[in-house]
Every structure is written in structure tokens, then in C-alpha cells.
Structure 1
Amino acid sequence: MHLFYTPTIEPHYREFILSEDESKHAIRVLRLAAGDTIYLVDGIGGWYTAKILDPHPKRTTLSILQVEQDYEKPAYYLHVAVAPTKNMDRMEWFLEKATEIGIQEITPIVSTHSERKEVKTERLHKVVVPAMKQSLKAYLPKVNAAISLQQFFDRVQSEEYTTRTIAHCADGEKQYLADICPPAGKYLILIGPEGDFSENEITQALSLGYQPVSLGSSRLRTETAALASCFEIAVLNR
């Protein structure tokens, strides 16, 4: 199955022209020809079956055969706010695997102990697109620009979530995600940097209604903790 990301396509289109990059990949790399069937996703739930009419390496023309909206729409919404790792390869690994498992929104947050203060959103976007295609999904996760933890608190305070949680390593009573997150919910999970959230940050999160959670007895790296939370939510909603 050959899947292409086409964010500009509309459900009423009868024909569509692939972008130059996607045309080159289809014709030069995959060596597809007229009459071959391919599939398109728009990143917002649209799944399109198409046939190649004109296999041009710069502007391949397609005939749209079938359109399915809300293709395998997730039963839940997961937003992970995670401190970016010093080594961006580890952050990109998380994004790739989280997209494959299931995640709807990612926000890089800069906290007191963060080792990395800046993140190139465009670079992260280039990770989630191929991960979406590889895992045959029709929904592209939203990747937000990096903001401070305080800015994040202010931005999402008015948004409605079924549960708001914070994973941290400080002492105190904690629960497992599966014990406090109901199925088919809208979840927000905070994951701190390698040095963990500061005491003041944890106190502020708790005062705002974030529930402390445990991801197990092992001390996990930031990207591992973030991915573990995605997996636990995915299993909860399986």
C-alpha cells in the first residue's frame, strides 16, 4: 500500500495533483505508473483512494475513486506536554513512536531544570508525517511550538480535559494512569525533564488540579516516560 500525505485535498475533489515532492517520490522512487492505485490522507481523518491518471514526476494527476471521512478516528484525545531532551534524537524518537501508538497533540515545555530551551517545530513536524504514513493513520498529531511551563499552564487552564496529570519523581502519593483515566476521555499528561520538575512547579500543578501519577517503579528517561504514558492510554482504550 502506497500512502501519501496531501493536506490540501478536499472531500469534493474528483481529481487531485500531487505536490512536486510527492510526485517525485511516487514516479521516480516507487516507479508507479498510470492506472496504479494509491491512497491519500489529509491529516484530519480523510482517507482517499485514488488512481494515477498522469504519472508526471513533478505534478502527478490523480482520479479520486473513494473518500472515507473520520477514518479509524481515535476514541480518545491525548495531549502530552513534555520537556524536550538535550539530545533531539531522543525527542524525535518519542514523537515517531507516539505517533505510531496514538497521540493527538504534543507541546514541548521548558521548565526550571530543562536542558534544552529551544525546539524547531518544523523539524518535529517532519518526524510525525512519515510516522503517520508508516502506521497507516489518517490523523496527524498537532505539534505545538515550545513554551514555558507557566505559559502552558495559562494557555490550557480554560480547556476541558477529563483528567490532567503530572508524572514526577518527588515523594508523595501517586496513582497509575489506568486507575484515574476513564476510557474515551480527553487526557493531559505533563512529563518533566531529566532533572524532574522543581518543587514549586509540582506544587503549582497540583494547585491547578493536576493529579500526580506513577509510571512504575523504574526511573525512566524523559522520552521513555512520555512514551510509556502513550502506551498506557492506548491500552486503556483498546
Structure 2
Amino acid sequence: MQLFYAPDLNEGDAFAILSREESHHAVKVLRMQAGDEMFVTNGRGLGVRGTLSDPSPSGCSVRIEDALEDTQKRGYRIHVAVAPTKVNDRMEWFLEKATEIGVDEITPLICARSERRVFNHARGSKVVLSAAKQSLKYSFPVLNEAEGFKTFLKGISAGKKFIAHCMPEGRRLSLKDGLCPGDDVCILIGPEGDFSPEEVRAAVDCGFVPVTLGTSRLRTETAALFAVAMACTVNM
């Protein structure tokens, strides 16, 4: 099954029109022809089955036959705010794998000790889109623009909130003990040099609970993916 993306698709539409890029892939790469079955999503929870009616490489038209059930729909949200890694490939690896496993929102977080302070949102969005289609998701994760740590804290209010850090001072709850099925969660993951003590205190003052991800010291992208996987596992 190959899933195509049509962001302007709405419930009740008779046709879905694919972008030039999606159309080129369907017609020139996959060699699809008029009458072939196609599956299309708008990335906002709607998936449809249809028939390719106009195989134009500049804008395919798909006649919609049926709306499909979103079997991956969930009653909770997972939001991970993670510092971009120094090596960009590692951040893109996280975006891909977290999307496949099941994350709802990702915010690149610029921290005091961040070695990478610029995030290529356009490139990251392409990674997320590709992974969402590959894993047959009808609801795509939201990838936010990079945001400063203090600014981010001010905008988060709902759900359970956790900050994972490596400093030995103070009590840290195990993340698995803090998660409960059905809860919306926001988890902060710091840069290679960890959060600063000031950032941890600021997060705690905003209601974030300090947590540990275990006894091993993890890379930033590994820690972020572990947090996503743990939150998903609790809800299985």
C-alpha cells in the first residue's frame, strides 16, 4: 500500500488533487496509470481510497471511492521538545523514527548549552512527511519552528510535563512511573551538555517534573526516542 499526501483534501470531496511532487512520484516513479487504486490522506486524520482518474505528472486527480477508518487514532497526545543535535543527521533520524513510532508534536528547543542553534524546519518537515506516509499515518505530527527554552516554558500548560536531565542533585522520578495511560504529555530533552541548573529550576517552577530515563547516559536523539517509545508503550 502506497499512501499519498493531499493537504487540501476535505471530508465529502469527490476528487483529491495531488501536488506536482506527489504526482511525479506516482506517474513517473511508480508508473501508475488511469484506473489504478490509490490511497490518499490530508495528514489531518482523513484517509480515502480512490481511483486515479487523470495521471498527469503535474497534478494527478484521484476519484474518491471510500473514506477509511483511522486505525491509529489515539485519545492522548505526546509532545517532545528536544534540543537539535550538533550533527544534523542524528536529529533527522529522531524525526523519522519518532514519527514512525507515534509522536504528535515536536518542538526543537534552543537551550543554554545547545551546540546547534539553528534548525532547518523545511528539511525536517520533509523527513516527517516521508516517515508519516511510510508508516501509513492519516494524522501527521506537528513539527514546530525552533523555540528558545524560556519562551517555550511560557506556552505549555495542559497535560503532564516532564524534564529529563542527568544532574544527580535532587529527586528524579523514573519516567515510566510518571506516565499514565490516556494522559497528554510533554517531555523535555536537553542538548549534549544537558540542561543547565537554571533551566531545570525554571522548568520545575513551571510545573515540570524532573525524570530519569535509566542508568545509562543516552545521546540526545536516543533519549528523545526512548521517551516517545515509553509514552506509547504505556498506552498500548
TM-score scaled by length of structure 1: 0.95
Alignment of 1:123-134 (within 5 A): 123-134=123-134
Aligned to 1:165: 162
* Compared CA separation, residues 71 and 13, structure 1 to 2 (3 A): farther
- 2:195 matches 1:197: yes
Aligned to 1:55: 55
State the Cα distance separating 1:70 from its structure 2 match: 4.6
Partner amino acid for 2:220?
A: T
Aligned to 2:220: 222
- Paired-residue identity, %: 45
Maintained 8 Å contact 1:75/1:237? no
State the Cα distance separating 1:58 from its structure 2 match: 1.6
State the Cα distance separating 1:16 from its structure 2 match: 2.3
Deviations 1:107-136 (A, max 9, x none): 111111100111121111011001001111
SS at match of 1:206: helix
Maintained 8 Å contact 2:80/2:105? yes
TM-score scaled by length of structure 2: 0.96
Number of corresponding residues: 235
- 2:115 matches 1:115: yes
Partner amino acid for 2:162?
A: T
Maintained 8 Å contact 2:53/2:63? yes
Distance 2:199 2:207 in 1: 13
Distance 2:82 2:62 in 1: 40
Distance 2:121 2:164 in 1: 24
State the Cα distance separating 1:13 from its structure 2 match: 0.8
Aligned to 1:46: 46
| Structure 1 runs of 4+ with >4 Å offset | none
Partner amino acid for 1:87?
A: V
State the Cα distance separating 1:149 from its structure 2 match: 0.2
Distance 2:98 2:121 in 1: 16
Partner amino acid for 1:85?
A: T
Maintained 8 Å contact 1:84/1:193? yes
Distance 1:206 1:19 in 2: 45
State the Cα distance separating 1:17 from its structure 2 match: 2.2
SS at match of 1:132: helix
Aligned to 2:93: 93
Distance 2:121 2:38 in 1: 29
Distance 1:183 1:155 in 2: 24
- 2:99 matches 1:102: no
Distance 2:207 2:17 in 1: 48
Aligned to 2:234: 236
- 2:26 matches 1:29: no
Maintained 8 Å contact 2:5/2:18? no
Distance 1:138 1:76 in 2: 16
Distance 2:24 2:186 in 1: 39
SS at match of 2:194: coil
Give the gaps of 5 or more residues in structure 1: none
State the Cα distance separating 1:196 from its structure 2 match: 0.4
Distance 2:199 2:176 in 1: 24
